[in-house]
Amino acid sequence: MTESYLAGAIAQSIERSRALSAVIDQPYSNAYDGLRTICSERLRGVVSTLRELQDETIVDEALQTPLRLRRYRRATDRLNEIETIGATALANVGQGSSDLTRIVRRVCDELKYPLVPPTVANMSSSYLSIYSGFNLMLAPLLEGRFLLHLPDLYHELAHPFLDGENEDRTVLDPYRNAFLECLKAIKRHFEGQRHLALREREPDEVTVYLHLWEWLWLNYWLEELFCDAFAALTCGPAFGWAHYHLTAKVSGDIFDTPIGRRRTHPADDARLRLILIGMQRRGFTNQAADISVRWEVLVDALKAHRPPEYFRCYPDDLLNLIVVQVQQGIEEMGVTLATPGALTSWPERLEEAWSVFWENPNGYTTWEKNALKLSMAVA
């Protein structure tokens, strides 16, 4: 009975693969060659598996069918991923995504980015994100029409450095080694905090919180903070302002210190502290001070308060270490760092946008439209 189902389902999946190939094989600009190649290679692997299942001789259903069903499920998972991510991005190619792809490629050229620049698709329902497996960055529909959030591109560009798909890329070894050093430091920190809690006879729930924070640091927060440090060190002040902008618009608890729930991103204030450390290390002292002052005003306006355990969860020494290690990794990879008075064109353009915004908020939108036209002319 199950084999009858599989016969029809496999044939249907092969037909679906053929339909996907028609999307992938459409003519696109050269900017999408990388994405098309990834989709084609992955689709070829899926079809090969499906054909093998289709042609397999069934001798013992009791033995073969469970294994065949598992292989079919894995193949359809990969097929769905190709369709919902890669092929959908290609099918929705438009001027907005093409413009952003050009910007990202220019940014990567300026950075001396060590990987192939990602393609951009306007498919995100919220923020910028990246699928390393497809080398595809997702952006909101209109993101390419505005400048103030574009510094977040630099954060997303750092995520592939730590992705398992790139673990054998030796050019990334300095960055990945820096990450390992910070993992060790996190374990040392929380082990020390647990010993302190035991020595001071603190309530048992403190130990529970420390275990939770360590787990979040190791599994989520360190990577996010590494990406923040990369952006602060390579984009400069504009990334600090972009973080302020995002927090002012959509943040929940700026000082979020979880005590019973998982959070994939660290507290916005902790991220800002790290960004400022990065800016100061690169010599953007005055800009860091300006952001810090405006941040405290924003904190007051939001009536946000640091919980007692906040600095225990997000200690200064770990934030400083991350910035030091990320800068060392960046330098060893040969990636371009942001330098006061010598910014490359896109960090300079984004910093200028924020300067104009603060100097003349009401007139900024008119300036931005003209600036984008000039930017795209040279992107």
Instruction: Reply yes or no on whether the pLDDT at 28 is more than 80.
Output: yes
Q: What is the pLDDT of residue 180?
A: 98
pLDDT tens digits, 278-323: 999 999 999 999 999 999 999 999 999 999 999 999 999 999 999 9
203: which 2 tokens? 């309530």
pLDDT tens digits, 218-265: 999 999 999 999 999 999 999 999 999 999 988 679 999 998 778 899
- Say whether 136 sits in a helix, a strand or coil: strand
Q: What is the pLDDT of residue 251?
A: 67
Q: What is the pLDDT of residue 379?
A: 58
Q: What is the pLDDT of residue 377?
A: 66
Residues 6+ apart with CB under 8 A from 186: 214, 217, 218, 222, 318
Query: Above pLDDT 70, what percent of the chain?
Result: 98
Least confident of 121-125, 166-170, 306-310, 327-331: 121-125
CB 364 within 8 A of CB 354: no
pLDDT tens digits, 86-98: 999 998 887 667 8
For 130, list phi and psi in degrees, rounded to 5: -145, 140
d(CA 146, CA 142): 8
pLDDT tens digits, 96-115: 678 899 999 999 999 999 99
How distant, in Å, are the alpha carbons of 104, 127, 207, 243, 345 from that of 155?
Answer: 12, 12, 32, 11, 17
Give start and end residues of each alpha helix (H) in the chain: 2-24, 33-55, 61-81, 88-91, 95-111, 152-158, 173-199, 204-216, 222-235, 237-250, 268-281, 285-301, 310-313, 316-333, 345-359, 364-378
Instruction: Reply yes or no on whether the pLDDT at 125 is more than 80.
Output: no
322: which 2 tokens? 């991350």
Closest CA to 157 of 99, 116, 102: 116
Which 8-state DSSP code applies to residue 86? I
Q: What is the mean pLDDT of the chain?
A: 94
d(CA 208, CA 376): 52
Closest CA to 182 of 283, 280, 335, 328: 328
The stretch 184-196 carries a mean pLDDT of: 97
The stretch 171-187 carries a mean pLDDT of: 98
Q: Is the dihedral of CA 134, 137, 138, 141 positive or negative?
A: negative
pLDDT tens digits, 143-161: 888 999 999 999 999 999 9
Strand pairing category for 129-131 and 136-138: antiparallel
Calculate the CA 282 to chain-centre distance: 22
Closest CA to 136 of 152, 149, 117: 117
Buried b / exposed e along 144-176 (16+ C-beta atoms within 10 A)? beebbbbbbbbbbbbbbbbbeebeeeeebebbe
Closest CA to 135 of 108, 110, 111: 108
Residue with tokens 């946000």: 304
pTM exceeds 0.85:
yes
